[in-house]
């Protein structure tokens, strides 16, 4: 029996927007929290967690990182995760030799302990070279990032957002490569929620060091479907895969939520368009003249519909939030009150004093 799009939309919301928990419990429930360095008005990881953690404040994840024993790594994006998932992802590129520069940097960090990129730069130099995103970084920083990517370094904590690295103790995988890829598939579905087969396989394409052939990755995923570990739902002409997380959420349909551009509810843009009927664009890297929604427009969920977006910015120590709509602004009083409450909660999350925000509906 096919699931209706209305039923599916509500299930997606209930499972993702679960009852707020402690920070540790929320991270275990999600398994992975995507990170992004843009702060407008806060970083993505904080904006994601504020809807899922009781009394959460911006920067809470960074402050609690060591206490909770978390790790930073790349799953389907870069983010924060549990030690168990980090050990499943690593080691990787086991047979690829380190470069001379990487060996020297790793030896230095092992000898001297946790290190800021500038400390390594002072010892081994740091030419300014083009990075992965087309900008420029110091070579010492890129060496540390490369060693972190393959599991030779870990982020032990951050200082003002900058990663402080330390050498890891080599991990001996307790699972086979097939078992590791199965665990990674399940972790990705747990974190992002229901998605299509093609999107999931594409998002995990960089795990070719475990499964070089796409057909093998697809076969492993199909095996998880066959055994019932992954749920299959035909919905309005689309086929979705998910983990059947029966622990229900406390999603409140009468609460308005301003969501991060990378929130699990909206991250899969194709699913977003299918469920809510319009195309959301992340325009931070779009030239200003071509932006339609705004630099860091955040989707606005009202009841079970994403009705538009909000741009939030700090101007002269005051939070200004400007709403935009796909169709027209809801006229009812309940919407106005819910929008005001959400902006007030956003301001408290940012640590602002009372009455230091303004809303443009």
pLDDT by residue, tens only, the chain of 361 residues: 578 999 999 999 999 999 999 999 999 999 999 999 999 999 999 999 999 999 999 999 999 999 999 999 999 999 999 999 999 998 776 667 888 888 988 999 999 999 998 888 887 665 554 544 444 346 788 889 999 998 999 999 998 888 999 999 887 788 999 999 999 999 999 999 999 999 999 999 999 999 999 999 999 999 999 999 999 999 999 999 999 776 555 667 789 999 999 999 999 999 999 999 999 999 999 999 999 999 999 999 999 999 999 999 988 889 999 999 999 999 999 999 999 999 999 999 999 988 889 888 8
Domains of the chain: 100-167 (1.10.10), 256-360 (3.30.70)
Secondary structure class of 32 (helix, strand, coil): strand
- DSSP assigned state of 246: -
Please state, as a whole number, how many other Cβ atoms lie within 10 Å of the Cβ of residue 173: 15
Place of tokens 């032990």: 156
Rounded distance between C-alpha atoms, residue 290 and residue 287, angstroms: 6
The CA-based angle 110-111-114, given to 5 degrees, is 60
In this structure, what token pair is assigned to residue 322? 């400007």
Handedness of CA 90, 91, 97, 103 (dihedral sign): positive
Task: Check if the beta carbon of residue 312 is closer than 8 Å to that of residue 356.
Answer: no
What pLDDT does residue 134 have? 45
Task: Check if the beta carbon of residue 281 is closer than 8 Å to that of residue 265.
Answer: no
What are the start-end ranges of the E strands in 206-317?
A: 231-235, 238-242, 256-258, 298-302, 305-315
What are the start-end ranges of the E strands in 78-171?
A: 78-81, 128-130, 136-138, 153-159, 162-167
Helix then strand count (H, E) for the chain reads 13, 14
- Residues facing 306 on adjacent strands: 301
- DSSP assigned state of 35: -
Kind plus residue range of the DSSP H or E element containing 71? strand 71-74
Task: Answer whether 0.95 is exceeded by the pTM.
Answer: no
- Residues facing 136 on adjacent strands: 130
What pLDDT does residue 254 have? 84
In this structure, what token pair is assigned to residue 101? 């520069």
Task: Check if the beta carbon of residue 258 is closer than 8 Å to that of residue 346.
Answer: yes
Rounded distance between C-alpha atoms, residue 188 and residue 242, angstroms: 10
Q: Count Cα neighbours of 57 within 13 Å in the Cβ-side half-sphere.
A: 6
Burial class (CB in 10 A: 0-12, 13-18, 19+), 195: buried
The CA-based angle 177-182-184, given to 5 degrees, is 95
């Amino acid at each position: 029996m096919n699931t209706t799009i209305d039923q599916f939309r509500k299930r997606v919301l209930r499972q993702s927007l679960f009852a707020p928990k402690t920070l540790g419990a929320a991270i275990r429930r999600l398994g992975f929290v995507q990170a992004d360095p843009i702060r407008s008005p806060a970083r993505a990881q904080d904006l994601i967690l504020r809807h899922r953690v009781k009394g959460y404040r911006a920067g809470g994840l960074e402050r609690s990182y060591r206490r909770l024993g978390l790790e930073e790594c790349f799953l389907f994006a870069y983010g924060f995760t549990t030690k168990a998932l980090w050990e499943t992802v690593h080691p990787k590129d086991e047979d690829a030799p380190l470069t001379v520069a990487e060996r020297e940097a790793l030896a230095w960090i092992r000898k001297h302990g946790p290190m800021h990129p500038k400390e390594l730069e002072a010892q081994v130099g740091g030419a300014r070279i083009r990075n992965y995103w087309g900008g420029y970084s110091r070579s010492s920083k890129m060496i540390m990032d490369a060693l972190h990517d393959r599991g030779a370094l870990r982020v032990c904590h951050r200082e003002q957002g900058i990663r402080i690295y330390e050498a890891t103790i080599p991990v001996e995988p307790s699972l086979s490569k097939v078992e590791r890829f199965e665990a990674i598939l399940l972790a990705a579905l747990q974190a992002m929620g229901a998605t299509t087969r093609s999107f999931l396989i594409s998002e995990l394409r960089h795990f070719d060091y475990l499964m070089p052939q796409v057909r093998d990755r697809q076969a492993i995923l199909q095996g998880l479907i066959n055994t019932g570990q992954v749920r299959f739902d035909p919905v309005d002409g689309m086929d979705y895969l998910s983990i059947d997380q029966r622990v229900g959420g406390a999603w409140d349909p009468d609460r308005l939520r301003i969501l991060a551009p990378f929130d699990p509810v909206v991250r899969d843009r194709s699913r977003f368009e299918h469920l809510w009927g319009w195309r959301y664009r992340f325009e931070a890297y779009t030239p200003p003249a071509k932006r339609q929604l705004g630099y860091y427009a955040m989707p606005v969920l009202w009841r079970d519909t994403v009705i538009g977006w909000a741009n939030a910015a700090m101007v002269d120590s005051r939070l200004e939030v400007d709403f935009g709509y796909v169709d027209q602004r809801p006229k009812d009083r309940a919407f106005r009150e819910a929008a005001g409450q959400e902006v007030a909660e956003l301001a408290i999350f940012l640590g602002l004093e009372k009455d230091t925000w303004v809303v443009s509906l």
